[in-house]
Amino acid sequence: MHELSVAQSILDSALRHAEERGFQRILSVHLKIGRLSGIEVESLRFCFEVLSAETMARSADLTVDLLPIRGKCRQCGREFNLEEVDFVCPGCHNRDIEVVSGTEMLMDKMEVE
């Protein structure tokens, strides 16, 4: 539900970066979003489209890399991807797992002209 405010901060930041550097048009914004971040990508895309309508980002492509949830076993050190949110080591079945990635919400790069 907070996709609207996330979309707004992406747009604000993109516009600021483009304006500071004197560009006229934002062609694309590339995001990296972890699967545990709670962000719904389709809804984010929709919000971004609505918010950017009157700006230089109006035709910008919002591309998203969905990052897997990656865990590391604190017992045997094995790293692995999690398909489901079930934190168990596939090697030693230990449940003490450190989440290495999957909660990210990153604005990675943008294309401008």
Partner 1 sequence: MEIHLKQDLMEANNRLAAEVNRFLSREGILTLNFLSSPGAGKTTLIEETLRRLRGKANTAVIVGDVQTARDKERFERAGFRAVQINTEGGCHLTAGMVEKALASLDLNGLDILFIENVGNLVCPAGFQLGEDMKVVLLSTTEGDDKPGKYPSAFFNAQVMLVTKIDLLPFTNFNLDAAKRDALKINPKLTVFEVSSLKDEGMGEWLDWLIKTLEAKRKNREP
The residues of the shown chain that bind partner 1, judged by CB under 8 A, are 1-2, 5-6, 9-10, 13, 17-18, 21, 23, 36-38, 85-88, 95-97, 99, 103-113
Query: What is the torsional sign of CA 74, 78, 81, 82?
Result: negative
Q: Which of 25/49 has CB closer to partner 1?
A: 25
Instruction: Report the relative pairing of strands 79-82 and 97-101 from DSSP bridges.
Output: unpaired
Of 2 and 58, which has the nearer Cβ to partner 1? 2
Residue with Cβ nearer partner 1 (79 or 108):
108
Least distance between partner 1 and beta carbon 83 (Å): 12
